[in-house]
Amino acid sequence: MGFSINSALQIQRFGKPTHTMQRLATLFLAFLIGGHPGAPSNCDGPCWSKNLKESDGFRSFDQQGDRPWQSQQGICFITTDRLAVYQVEEQQQPGPLKPRDASGGAGRFHVRVAFLEASDGRELKTLDVQTNAYSADVLPTHDGQFLIHAGEALYLYSASFEPLRLRRLPFAKAARDESWDVGVSPAGTNVFLAHHQIFGRKEGSRTDVEVLDADTLEHVVDVPVRHLNDFSAGDGFLLTQSAQGEPALYSGWGIVDLQGQRTQITAVVAGNCPPFLRALAHQLVADVGCNMLSVKSLSNREVFSKTLKGRDTFVSVANSGDFLAAEVSREKLTAWLDVGNPWKPLRIELYDLSKPLEMHPVEIKGNEVQYAVSARGDLAVVEGDLLTLHNSSE
- Write out the DSSP string of 179-212: EEEEEE-TTSSEEEEEEEEEEETTTEEEEEEEEE
pLDDT per residue as tens digits for the range 333-348: 665 555 566 789 999 9
User: Fold for domain 43-65+275-394?
Assistant: Lipocalin (2.40.128)
Q: At 10, phi and psi to the nearest 5?
A: -65, -40
Q: Is 107 left (phi over 0), alpha (psi -120 to 50) or beta?
A: left
What band does 212 get if pLDDT is binned at 50, 70 and 90? very high
Q: Is the pLDDT of residue 4 over 50?
A: no
Mean pLDDT score, 74-91: 94
Report yes or no: 316 and 346 within 8 Å, Cβ to Cβ.
no
**pLDDT digit string, tens, across residues 228-281:** 778 899 999 999 876 444 444 434 688 889 988 888 877 766 667 778 899 999
H-helix or E-strand containing 269? none
Q: Count how many Cα atoms sit within 13 Å of the Cα of residue 302 in the half-sphere of its side chain.
A: 8
Domain boundaries, given as residue ranges, for the chain: 1-37, 43-65+275-394
- pLDDT classification of 158: cutoffs 50, 70, 90: very high
Name the nearest CA neighbour of 79 among 36, 42, 48. 36
| CB 51, CB 115: distance < 8 Å | no
Report the Cα 277 to chain-centroid distance in Å: 15
Q: What is the mean pLDDT of residues 17-46?
A: 51
Q: How would residue 98 be classed by pLDDT, with cut points 50, 70 and 90?
A: low
**At CB < 8 A and 24+ separation, what contacts does 195-201 make?**
195/169, 196/228, 197/172, 199/174, 199/175, 200/176
Per-residue model confidence (pLDDT) at position 254: 85
Prediction pTM value = 0.84
Q: Do 91 and 107 touch, CB atoms closer than 8 A? A: yes
> Between 67 and 108, where is the model more confident?
108
pLDDT digits (tens, 9 = 90+) for 280-297: 999 999 999 889 999 999
Contacts of 320 (CB under 8 A, 6+ apart): 77, 186, 281, 372, 373, 374, 375
In this prediction, residue 107 has a pLDDT band, given cuts at 50, 70 and 90, of: low
Higher pLDDT pick, 119 / 132: 119
Does residue 214 register a pLDDT over 70? yes
